[in-house]
């Protein structure tokens, strides 16, 4: 049953290639790189949401980390671990207060990042295609889950509006990525440097596959 090669089919030519089930040295190094790229995700921002308005020309920037969030006001240079300004503004439209202690994610997300880094490290050590591919798929599923989780929070905040709010607005969906206008504010939502690095790590999967099949074709 145990094969020592893996069959790869080239979609364009319809030809199939056999590659050894053991990872080449180059691939192992790339997976190791992925393990290292994931780690900074523990202390770099995962996502940033910036609010810009006429009276906030420099914007108020909320950075979401793996274990906390910060609110930065470029005008004062002050950073706070509770989004005081944004909560103060949101209370006009009756949005639920953003309270960092309500995010259970902050408790386990750093450990998940460490776990996936270790998984990548193990893939590089074990050096088998099956292991590595499984690890990559889990990683991608985790990523999708996190984006879904983020979407759920944003939906909650945009739809769970107090009926007693001074200013009544229609429920709305804040942008997961990109920008959206709400009254006098433009909300800009972008991945943070931590996520960008994690994204590079994730993209290494297809890159490895492409590199390997290309080499096979050439040989």
Partner 1 sequence: MRLINCGKIMRLLSLPLLVGFLGLLFACKGGQSPAEKVYVPPGKLDSYYAFLSGGHSGQIGVFGLPSGRLIKMIPVFAPDVAIGWGIDEGSKEIMGGYIWGDAHHPALSETNGDYDGRWLFINDTANGRIARIDLKDFVTKEIITLPNVGGNHASPFVTPNTEYLVGATRFSIPVPNRDVPIETYKENFNGVIAFVSVDKNTGHMENAFQILMPPFDYDLADAGKRVSYGWAFFSCYNSEEAYKDLEVEASQKDRDFIAAVNWKAAEEAIKEGKYKEINGVKVIDPQEVKGIVYFLPTPKSPHGSDVTPDGKYIVGGGKLAAVVTVHGFEKMQEAIKKGDFDGEVMGIPILKYESVRVAEVPVGLGPLHTQFDDQGYAYTSLFVDSAIAKWKLGTWEVVDKIPVYYNIGHLAAIHGDTVKPRGKFVLAMNKIAKGRYLPVGPSHPESAQLIDISGKKMEMLLDFPTPVEPHYGQIIDATLIKPELVYPLDQNKDPYAIKSADQARVERNGNRVDVYMIAIRSHFTPNILKFEEGDNVYFHITNLEQDVDITHGFGINFSNVDMQIEPGETKTVKWVAEKPGIYPFYCTNFCSALHQEMQGYIEVASKGSK
Interface with partner 1 (CB under 8 A): 73, 75-76, 78, 80, 84-85, 88, 91-92, 166-167
Distance in Å, CB of 60 to partner 1, minimum: 9
Name the β-bridge partners of 180: 187
Side by side, the strands of the sheet bearing 185-191 are 78-80, 69-73, 56-64, 47-53, 185-191, 178-182
The residues, ordered by sequence, that sit 6+ positions from 147 with a Cβ below 8 Å of its Cβ are 176
- Please say which residue, 57 or 178, places its beta carbon nearer to partner 1: 57
Half-sphere exposure for 198 (CA within 13 Å, toward CB)? 28
- Please say which residue, 71 or 212, places its beta carbon nearer to partner 1: 71
Q: Give the integer Cα–Cα distance in Å for 49 and 197.
A: 18
Distance in Å, CB of 89 to partner 1, minimum: 9
Distance in Å, CB of 30 to partner 1, minimum: 46
Distance in Å, CB of 195 to partner 1, minimum: 28
Distance in Å, CB of 92 to partner 1, minimum: 7
Q: Per this entry, what is the length of the chain?
A: 219
- Please say which residue, 168 or 214, places its beta carbon nearer to partner 1: 168
Q: Give the integer Cα–Cα distance in Å for 50 and 58.
A: 9
- Please say which residue, 26 or 58, places its beta carbon nearer to partner 1: 58
Helix (H) or strand (E) holding 118: helix 105-126
Q: Give the integer Cα–Cα distance in Å for 123 and 129.
A: 8
Q: For the packed helices 25-38 and 105-126, what is the interaxial angle rounded to 10 degrees?
A: 170
- What is the dihedral angle through the alpha carbons of 73, 79, 85, 90, rounded to the nearest 10 degrees? 100
- Please say which residue, 68 or 84, places its beta carbon nearer to partner 1: 84
- Please say which residue, 2 or 166, places its beta carbon nearer to partner 1: 166
115-130 core/surface letters (b: 16 or more CB in 10 A; e: else): ebbebbbebbeebebe
Distance in Å, CB of 78 to partner 1, minimum: 6
């Amino acid at each position: 049953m145990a094969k020592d090669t893996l069959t790869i089919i080239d979609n364009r030519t319809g030809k199939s290639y056999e590659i050894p089930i053991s990872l080449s040295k180059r691939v192992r190094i790339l997976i190791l790189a992925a393990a290292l790229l994931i780690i900074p995700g523990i202390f770099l921002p995962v996502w940033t949401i910036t609010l810009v308005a006429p009276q906030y020309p420099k914007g108020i920037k909320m950075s979401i980390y793996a274990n906390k969030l910060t609110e930065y006001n470029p005008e004062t240079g002050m950073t706070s671990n509770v989004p005081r300004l944004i909560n103060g503004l949101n209370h006009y439209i009756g949005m639920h207060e953003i309270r960092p202690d309500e995010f259970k994610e902050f408790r386990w997300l750093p450990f998940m990042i460490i776990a996936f880094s270790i998984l990548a490290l193990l893939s590089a050590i074990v050096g088998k295609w099956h292991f590595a591919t499984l690890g990559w798929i889990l990683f991608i599923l985790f990523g999708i889950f996190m984006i879904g989780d983020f979407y759920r929070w944003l939906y909650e905040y945009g739809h769970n509006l107090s009926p007693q709010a001074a200013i009544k607005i229609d429920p709305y969906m804040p942008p997961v990525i990109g920008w959206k206008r709400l009254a006098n504010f433009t909300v800009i939502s972008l991945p943070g440097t931590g996520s960008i690095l994690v994204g590079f790590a994730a993209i290494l999967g297809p890159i490895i596959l492409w590199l390997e099949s290309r080499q096979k074709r050439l040989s």
